[in-house]
Amino acid sequence: MNARPRFGLARVLALAGLIALMATVVGSWALDRGWLELPLPELVNRYQLPDSRFVDVDGVRVHYVDRGSGPPVVLLHASFLSLRSWDQLSAQLEGRYRVIRLDLSGAGLTGDDPSRRYGIGRNIELVRGLLASLQLDSVALVGTSSGGITAFRYAARYPEQVSRLVLINSAGMPRTAATNPLRPPSSRLAGWVQARYRSRAFWAESLAGNFVPPHQPSAEFIDMTYDMNRRANSREINSLFLANFSTGDPQQVLATVKAPALVLWGLENRTVMHLEADVFAYWLSSAPVALRKYPGLGHYAYIEEPAVIARDVADFLAGNLDSELRAPCPFD
Mean pLDDT for the stretch of residues 50-74: 97
Amino acid in position 241: F
* Domain boundaries of the chain, sorted by first residue: 8-37, 40-324
For the cut 90, the answer to whether the pLDDT of residue 27 exceeds it is no
Mean pLDDT for the stretch of residues 160-176: 92
Quick one: pLDDT at residue 246?
A: 83
Closest CA to 57 of 137, 130, 106, 158: 130
What is the bridge-based pairing of β-strands 162-170 and 98-102? unpaired
Q: What is the DSSP string of 132-177?
A: HHTT-S-EEEEEEEHHHHHHHHHHHH-GGGEEEEEEEEE--S---T
Element (H, E) at 76: strand 72-76
Mean pLDDT for the stretch of residues 237-266: 93
Choose which CATH entry (3.30.56.10, 1.10.260.40, 3.40.50.720, 3.40.50.1820) describes domain 40-324: 3.40.50.1820
Q: Mean pLDDT lowest for which of 5-19, 88-102, 145-159? A: 5-19
What is the pTM (predicted TM-score) of this model? 0.86
Quick one: pLDDT at residue 68?
A: 97
pLDDT digits (tens, 9 = 90+) for 274-298: 999 999 999 999 999 999 999 999 9
